[in-house]
Amino acid sequence: MIGAKNISLLCLFSIFLLSCGNSKNINPHNYVLFDDNGGLKNCPAPDPIYKTGKIKCFIESSGSMAGFFQANKITGFKSDVWSVLNDFYDKIDSVRLFRDASEPIEKMTLADFRRDMNAGNFRFAGSTQIPQMLKDVVLSLGKNDVGMFISDMKYSPMGSQADVLLTQYGTDVKNVIKNTPYAFSIIGLTSSYITGRGKTVENSPYYIILIGNDLPVNKMKQKIMQSIRKENLLGEISFYGKDFPTPMYTLLANRGIVNGITYESDNKLYYTIGDINKESDVTFYLAADFTKLPYYLFSDNKQLMQQLEVKADGARATVEELTDSALFDFGNGSREAANKVHATHFIKIKVSDILDGATQVTLSVKRKEAGWVSAVCGAKYETEYNKTISFEQLMSGLKDAYNTEKQSKYYYNAPFVVLITEGKR
- For 364-380, write each residue's pLDDT tens digit: 999 998 889 999 999 98
218 Cβ partners below 8 Å, 6+ apart? Answer: 183, 185, 238, 291, 292
- pTM for the whole thing? 0.88
pLDDT in tens, 276-331: 998 899 999 999 999 999 999 999 999 999 999 999 999 999 999 999 988 888 87
Angle (nearest 5°) at CA 154 between 385 and 292: 100
- The one-character DSSP state at 103 is S
Please say whether the beta carbons of 117 and 138 come within 8 A: no
* Burial classification of residue 319, based on how many CB atoms lie within 10 Å of its CB (0-12 exposed, 13-18 middle, 19 or more buried): middle
Please say whether the beta carbons of 379 and 389 come within 8 A: yes
pLDDT in tens, 394-413: 999 999 999 988 889 999 99
- The residue length of the chain stands at 425
At 370, the amino acid letter reads: A
Cα–Cα distance list, 146 to 88, 234, 332 (Å): 11, 22, 42
Q: Is the pLDDT of residue 16 over 50?
A: no
Please give the helix or strand (H or E) that residue 365 lies within, else none: strand 358-365
* Mean pLDDT along residues 187-191: 96
Please say whether the beta carbons of 60 and 152 come within 8 A: yes
User: What are the phi and psi torsion angles at 361 (to 5°)?
Assistant: -100, 135
pLDDT in tens, 17-46: 333 444 578 999 999 999 999 999 999 999
